[in-house]
Amino acid sequence: MTSTSVSKTNGLGGTIAAADQCTDQNTAAGKPSWASDLRVIWHLLAHPVRGKTHAERLESFYSGQAGDYDSFRARLLHGRDELIDSLDFPTAGVWADLGAGTGKNILRAGGRCSALRQIQLVDLSPSLLDVARERLGAAGVTNAQYWLADVTRWEQAEESVDLVTFSYSLTMIPDWFKAIELAHRILKPGGVIGVVDFYVSRKYAAQGQRQHGWLRRSFWTHWFGADNVFLSPDHTAMLHQKFDATRFSERLGRVPYLPLVRAPYYLFVGTKRATDVG
């Protein structure tokens, strides 16, 4: 296993009563400021991403903007709060947030996830995971485990997890199909997967699904591709194939400083079928 469990805060089975006090969105997201935005924009547009491996490239991308991450992303990564607010957190259950970043989703869930036995935060960027550990620790979260690991190789027992979430992480995982396979494998039958992310439709979208024109598909694919965020029409197709969808919503969201355009994103919630074997 190439992944490493870097730390586990305060043991398992604890409660996070104090997390109720940490859902203030300014605290969780950081207050927007021009200086912070400029640093992020410089990183997005001008800072060369270096590295021979995916992990090195991620760290090259995030290390200089980890502290500014949440404020800017709060205005770019739409639907995350809506997704988290719509999910149930079963008593004594296990939640794996894959590509967890700075732990924002856990702060959003707050006291609603205090009865979980474990919250597993998995991410390949040490800089972002450090922010998550610091924030959740300060918020008194005691049932979180932090895994510095590639989601596609993360070792977790089969059918051991009640809830898996990916928020804007699938598009950054080159072997995203392995990540969905892993989610399927570790979820218990009847377990829930929640995903929110950017995407583009197929040229010929399935009936009842949103159709994006050539310009929209091409523009966003190239725009995000410059930062190694790979939009695809196939993520949603595979999610529908592997899970029973209970919710699928296709949207357009604002992009900071680009008033004339809207980026396509979706929310997917599904359950693992009881009879699935793989």
Ligand X SMILES: C[S@@+](CC[C@H](N)C(=O)[O-])C[C@H]1O[C@@H](n2cnc3c(N)ncnc32)[C@H](O)[C@@H]1O
Q: How many CB atoms lie within 10 A of CB 241?
A: 9
Which residue among 9, 65, 169, 232 contacts ligand X (CB under 6 A)? 169
Which residue among 96, 172, 192, 239 contacts ligand X (CB under 6 A)? 172
The backbone torsions φ and ψ at residue 107, rounded to the nearest 5 degrees and listed phi first, read -65, -40
Which residue among 150, 164, 235, 243 contacts ligand X (CB under 6 A)? 150
Eight-class DSSP state of 152? G
Q: Nearest approach, Cβ of 121 to ligand X (angstroms)?
A: 9
- Please, which residue, 54 or 262, has the CB nearer to ligand X? 54
Which residue among 68, 81, 123, 130 contacts ligand X (CB under 6 A)? 123
Residue 11 to residues 7, 53, 119, 164, 181, Cα–Cα distance (Å):
10, 32, 11, 21, 28
Contact positions with ligand X (CB under 6 A) in 215-234: none
Cα 102 from Cα 41, distance rounded (Å): 18
5, 157 in Cβ contact below 8 A?
no
137, 165 in Cβ contact below 8 A?
no
76 binds ligand X (CB under 6 A): no
Span of 6-14, 110-118, 146-154, 239-247 interacting with ligand X by CB under 6 A: 146-154
Cα 52 from Cα 65, distance rounded (Å): 20
Q: Nearest approach, Cβ of 29 to ligand X (angstroms)?
A: 10
Which residue among 29, 66, 151, 263 contacts ligand X (CB under 6 A)? 151
Q: Which two tokens stand for residue 73?
A: 């992303």
Give the H/E segment covering residue 263. strand 258-271
Span of 117-125, 200-208, 256-264, 268-276 interacting with ligand X by CB under 6 A: 117-125
Residues that bind ligand X (CB under 6 A): 58, 73, 77, 80, 99-101, 104, 122-125, 128, 150-152, 167-169, 172-173
